[in-house]
DNA sequence: TCTGGGGTCCTAGGACCC
DNA sequence: TCTGGGGTCCTAGGACCC
């Protein structure tokens, strides 16, 4: 029997959860984001397939979505608790599958590690288990490592199963742009293109030393391997431990006075601190996320003199950081992050330089 | 036309040490 | 005139993911 990695990804998860508790919305374009008011500053969290047909997608400002949306479209507010509950039910159903190891990587997706000669059967079983437990549909990617399993899922959507291994990697992915690889964003795509690397096959065939010179020893090697679909195989069931917590908020009107900015920074820093305190870990660093007009997002960090468990220390550090912002530029506060002292290292599992949770 | 909120990890470059 | 070399730690910032 062989070791397989399955990637389970819920189909239009947030929209599907909303339709589930409002069955009358089935078949209509559903757009979830912000407080559900498309005249406010906020973006789309998830759009149903019906809404996507009108060019509406995740990350799009609600105001833009409202212009594209047909008359029967429905805008709904984000309801974190409902999605967390649905997510927990999905994961619980999958954990009960015989012989699987489960690693949660987001609200609506996870990896399953399983030893089997028929991974498609396991994938169909996973879809059935999730559907029976929650009435939600998902797609499953099957791979011989995490990278291939993750990418495979896109070819399975919606409600399907797709297998991507070393055997069909280049047939499926060879001619695709590098941007379609997991962990390659617009900036890296551009830097690769400057080296004459536009496709996945060209990345696989590239000179590794050239990639190391461009991206550094770790990322250079990682990107080169990514061209061939290489990646880690280990599925780690250890519960995820946060390294930091942040609080961001969208101000409907930009803050204009020093006093307003100071008060808002202290409020957000206090909330971020509370999240760290709930984890029982001291805070060692604070970050400010701001936007300079017209559209330049920047973060500024500052290390605290020593790790602290006092709310005031974190608030003061954030306020001091805010006081260093360039007063000559129009700046909009986005949020505050509190970084905790690091957790004990999880060992025995290969780390992946894909940003965000894995 | 208007751009969220939650995260993680890598690299560059200076400080410092031997 | 020539002015080590290598390692580690720390900070700031960038890039990406869901």
Q: In Å, what is the separation between the CA of A338 and the C1' of B8?
A: 14
Nucleotide nearest to A275 (CA to C1'): B6
> What digits encode the pLDDT tens for the residues A150-200?
999 999 999 999 999 999 999 999 999 999 999 999 999 999 999 999 999
Q: With a 7 Å cutoff on the CB, does A107 touch strand C?
A: yes
Strand C at less than 7 A from CB of A251: no
Establish whether the CB of A250 is closer than 7 Å to any nucleic acid atom in strand B: yes
pLDDT exceeding 70 applies to what percent of chain A?
96
Nearest nucleotide to the CA of A298, by C1', is: C13
- Render pLDDT for A315-324 as a digit per residue (tens, 0 to 9): 999 998 888 8
Tell if A319 CB is < 7 Å from nucleic strand C. no
Mean pLDDT calculated for residue range A30-34: 94
Residue A139 scores a pLDDT above 70: yes
Our answer to whether residue A103 is catalytic in this structure is no
| pLDDT, averaged across chain A | 90
- Count of alpha carbons within 13 angstroms of residue A282, beta-carbon side: 11
pLDDT band at A269 (very low <50, low <70, confident <90, very high): very high
Q: In what order do the strands lie in the sheet with A101-106?
A: A101-106, A109-116, A2-10, A138-143, A161-164
Q: What's the pTM?
A: 0.91
pLDDT bin (cut points 50, 70, 90) of residue A304 is confident
Strand locations in chain A (E): 2-10, 30-32, 46-47, 74-76, 101-106, 109-116, 138-143, 161-164, 244-248, 283-292, 296-308, 331-340
What pLDDT is stored for residue A297 in this prediction?
81
What is residue A305's predicted lDDT score, i.e. its pLDDT? 85
Question: Tens digit of pLDDT for each residue in A197-246?
Answer: 999 999 999 999 999 999 999 899 999 999 999 999 999 898 888 888 88
Q: How far is the CA of A134 from the C1' of C15 (A)?
A: 35
Mode of pairing for the β-strands spanning A296-308 and A46-47 = unpaired
pLDDT classification of A249: cutoffs 50, 70, 90: confident
- Of A13, A31, A43, which Cα lies nearest the Cα of A75? A31
Q: What's the pLDDT score for residue A300?
A: 85
Long-range residue pairs from A166-175, CB within 8 A, at least 24 positions apart, any chain? A166/A228, A166/A229, A169/A228, A169/A229, A170/A200, A170/A201, A170/A204, A173/A200, A173/A229, A174/A199, A174/A200, A174/A201, A174/A204, A175/A199, A175/A200, A175/A201
Closest C1' nucleotide to A357's CA: B8
Give me the catalytic one of A18, A50, A109, A202: A109
Averaged pLDDT for residues A252-274: 88
With helix as H, strand as E and coil as C, how does A67-91 read? HHCCCCCEEECCCHHHHHHHHHHHH
Q: Which nucleotides of C are covered by protein (CB under 7 A)?
A: 10-18
Q: Nearest residue to C16, CA vs C1'?
A: A355
> A296 forms bridges with which residues in the sheet?
A292
């Amino acid at each position: 029997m062989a070791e397989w990695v399955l990637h389970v990804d819920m189909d239009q998860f947030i929209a599907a959860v909303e339709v589930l508790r409002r069955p009358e919305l089935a078949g209509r374009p559903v757009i979830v984001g912000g407080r559900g008011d498309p005249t406010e500053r906020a973006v789309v969290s998830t759009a149903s397939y019906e809404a996507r047909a009108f060019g509406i997608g995740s990350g799009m400002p609600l105001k833009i979505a409202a212009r594209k949306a047909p008359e029967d479209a429905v805008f709904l507010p984000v309801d974190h608790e409902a999605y967390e509950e649905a997510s927990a039910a999905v994961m619980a159903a999958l954990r009960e599958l015989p012989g699987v190891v489960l690693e949660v990587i987001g609200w609506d997706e996870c990896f399953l590690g399983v030893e089997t000669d028929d991974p498609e059967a396991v994938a169909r079983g996973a879809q059935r288990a999730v559907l029976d437990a929650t009435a939600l549909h998902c797609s499953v990617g099957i791979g011989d490592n995490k990278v291939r399993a993750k990418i495979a899922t896109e070819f399975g959507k919606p409600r399907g199963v797709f297998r991507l291994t070393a055997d069909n990697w280049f047939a499926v992915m060879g001619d695709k742009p590098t941007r379609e690889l997991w962990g390659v964003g617009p900036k890296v795509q551009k830097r690769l293109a400057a080296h004459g690397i536009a496709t996945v096959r060209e990345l696989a065939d590239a000179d590794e030393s050239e990639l190391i010179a461009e991206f550094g020893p770790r990322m250079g090697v990682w990107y080169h391997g990514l061209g061939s679909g290489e990646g880690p195989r280990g599925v780690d069931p250890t519960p995820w431990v946060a390294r930091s917590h942040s609080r961001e908020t969208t101000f409907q009107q930009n803050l204009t006075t020093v006093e307003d900015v100071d008060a808002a920074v202290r409020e957000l820093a206090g909330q971020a601190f509370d999240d760290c305190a709930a984890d029982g870990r001291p805070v060692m660093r604070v970050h400010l996320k701001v936007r300079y007009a017209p559209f330049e997002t920047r973060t500024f960090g500052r290390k605290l003199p020593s790790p602290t468990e006092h709310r005031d220390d974190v608030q003061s550090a954030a306020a001091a950081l805010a006081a260093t912002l360039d007063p000559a530029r129009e700046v909009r506060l986005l949020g505050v992050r509190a970084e905790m002292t690091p957790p004990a290292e999880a060992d025995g599992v290969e780390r992946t330089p894909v940003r965000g949770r894995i």
